[in-house]
Structure 1
């Protein structure tokens, strides 16, 4: 009996592989659960995070702001899906703007394009401002009025973006291109509020200085293209963060848009 019992104790346990197999199955299940979770990332949240990270790390939105700095271009999760009506409105507005451009002989001075973020109306500096100044010229008022009247029929938020070329400016009023580009955008905002009757809640203004060129600043011809103000009609998918909005009280506090004479020491310097 003792010998037989000893032989039985020496028999190997052939079922131990089941423990390893069970562990492997458990790990595989956890792996596929994790992969499934990753595959269901909220695309809107990811787009918002991507925009914010680009601004913070890549400097794509390097700009100068008066007052509180506006937040990043935010994704509006409450925006209605689809947008066939909005697309039709954008197309109609572009057709009306193209007609005005043709009638006024403004080809090359006003450019209308459709981008992913919305409808962009780009007005060249020579059409709107004197060299080194931010006040809208009398001859440009009628153009901005016509553009504003077309856009005022749409409910979309509108962002006014000021841009310059890379030629430096250093005056008491405008120490750099950031101040100049922002002041120009602010004057356009004030005009749209006071003369067109747009709601301040729809508008924001920002200046990007020379940091958002559309072509390289390698010639005067190219620099003239970069000196511009862009009126951006944002699609409803995008929304302007609250700190970036410029209201009537803020404009009054800044005393912008009064069209008062300004001291300009930028003689011979084109911005």
Structure 2
């Protein structure tokens, strides 16, 4: 009688080995849901947290339902993303807003200066000799060499000094920008007692024009520098006289302090003559 009772107790004991593959299945399903959630909003921080969640799920040996770190990973993703975007105390947003405001003010400055230059060009009939262009990096004033110099010379014509003075007076109203004066030539060789190469001619022309700008005591000399490009930055072909005439020029560039990295194209305010 007692033997039969013991046998019945043994027969009623359930086999629980199925729990092992069942727990593994739950783990895999949870991992799948984490992957689907993370890929719905691609984010480097989320992937980092997801990697940590996998490590916890597969390497610790803890039960899935016992591991609260895995269960709350989705919420951690959102919190981490929000914290990274706003920064501590919202400083990142504040800095970005300040930068955007400064960029807008700079854009307004350069548009205003361009308008003054364009009006001067129009009033003085210089539309064939001067041009202005505002793009993502600078406001550039391009002056044909025949408006400033005699052929093969770096001496500014007397009537062209008035132009340099007018440009200097406009530039002094905007004291927060660096100014680069650059000289350019065509590719025709030059060899004279005054200049042995186009490099020397373009350099001397840039310096001479910059010297007139610096005669204005209100224009900060620390903002100015001159550079020479010789024949190596043409804007047109050197195979025709018209193209070579365009390549012989002096450029005055007012350099932006703030450049939008997402804006790789011209801002759209070009021409002006």
Same fold (TM over 0.5): yes
Q: Which has the higher contact order (CA 8 A, sep 6+)?
A: 1
Partner of 1:165: 186
CA distance 1:101–1:36, change in 2 (3 Å): farther
| 2:240 paired with 1:219 | yes
Structure 2 residue aligned with 1:98: 118
Per the TM alignment, residue 195 of structure 1 is displaced from its structure 2 partner at its CA by 3.7
2:138 corresponds to:
118
Using the size of structure 1 for normalisation, the TM-score is 0.58
Runs of 4+ off more than 2 Å: 32-37, 78-82
In structure 2, relative to structure 1, the CA distance for the partners of 1:199 and 1:221 (3 Å cut) is same
SS at match of 1:120: strand
Q: Which moved more, 1:119-128 or 1:185-194?
A: 185-194
The structure-2 alpha-carbon separation of the partners of 1:36 and 1:237, relative to structure 1 and needing over 3 Å to count, comes to: farther
Gaps of 5+ in 1: 1-31, 38-77, 239-271
Does the Cα contact within 8 Å between 1:119 and 1:233 map onto a contact in 2? yes
Kept in 1, the 8 Å contact 2:118–2:132? The answer is yes
Within 5 A, what are the aligned runs for 1:116-195? Answer: 116-157=136-177, 158-195=179-216
Structure 2: distance between partners of 1:163 and 1:150: 23
TM-score w.r.t. length of structure 2: 0.58
Separation of aligned partners in 2, 1:220 and 1:118: 28
- Unmatched tracts of structure 2, length 5 or more: 1-41, 48-97, 260-273
Give the alignment's Cα RMSD to 1 decimal: 4.1
Report which of the two has the higher share of helix: 2
Which structure is larger by alpha-carbon Rg, 1 or 2?
2
